[in-house]
Amino acid sequence: MIIVNKLSKVKSNFPVMVGKKAISARDCEILINEIKKAKSFDDLIQGGRNRINKGSKNFKNYLKKSKLSKKLYNQFNSKSFYRKVENCFKKTFKTYGWSNTFLPKKFLAQKYTNKKLMNSKELVKMLGKSYKNPDVNLDIDFSVSRGGYRLRPHRDDVTRLYNFLIYLNDIPKKNGGSLTIFKKKADMKLRKSFKRFPSISELTKVKEFTPSRGSVIFFQSTPNSYHGVTLFREEKGKKRFFIYGSYALSKPVVWKYKNVSYLPKIKKTNKKLLTSSHDSDYFMKEAV
């Protein structure tokens, strides 16, 4: 359905590629109707986003009844498509300097990132002490957002390599719900650390993507890949339909920028959170 080599490079401080009309208007309508027919969702997050998540019983039932969603899922949930995405980023962004230190050994089609609530100690135990020899898997959800949905500037969690977003309907710019990418205000060749949730005062906007039917956005989840979603204002009952996913490692990604490595550190908390909600920073370490 989506042809990776037709994506266009976006001028940004981290690797981003976009494709306009990557999915036909007809297919977008079919996908929207399939989401509308879903009898239930797995969770409600970020002020108004209902998700059907890979790995849930609900997700399996959804795919049984949603022919086109299953076709798109099967395309993304394959080693060959993952390799196409990876090769496209390597070819397109040779000069950006970011790479993952430990390449994944296997693509696990049935695996997905754990969605259980856990504290930081439990999360660290689950991820393990060694980050070598990781595997990779697809995480994906079919989502619909109502008014009130927003996402503060952040970098995604420490296991993610590549993220993608597929817009299924047009949303007027005045209604918000736009993906916004940011960079640090102070330009530096090397940083000692990267916060997961920086203050908005530390950032400046690079580009904003207004939801456009059939468009797709891919970006590499580097330590500086700060992004967020502006407040979505629902008008006349018009919801925001989209598909969001990532290729994630079974262990935290050790990112390398030129001659230095950045290792993640999860912040301690006794609060039970989803794995994707935990705070973590990346710290510089001399490459070995």
Question: Tokens 């705070």 identify what position?
Answer: 279
Q: For residue 33, what are the domain limits? A: 4-286
Instruction: Tell me how many degrees the CA angle 167-172-174 measures, rounded to the nearest 5.
Output: 130
CATH number of domain containing 120: 2.60.120.620
Q: Of 104, 280, 101, whose CA–CA distance to 193 is shortest?
A: 280
- Residues 236-287 have pLDDT tens digits of 899 999 999 999 999 999 999 988 899 999 999 999 998 889 999 999 985 4
- Residues 83-98 have pLDDT tens digits of 999 999 999 998 888 9
Total number of domains constituting the chain: 1
Residues in a beta bridge with 51: 43, 143
Q: Of 67, 264, 72, 49, whose CA–CA distance to 177 is shortest?
A: 49
Please give the model's pTM, rounded to 2 decimal places. 0.94
- Residues 20-70 have pLDDT tens digits of 999 999 999 999 999 999 989 999 999 999 999 999 999 999 999 999 999
**Tell me, what's the pLDDT at 287?**
44
Cβ atoms of 101 and 286 within 8 Å: the answer is no
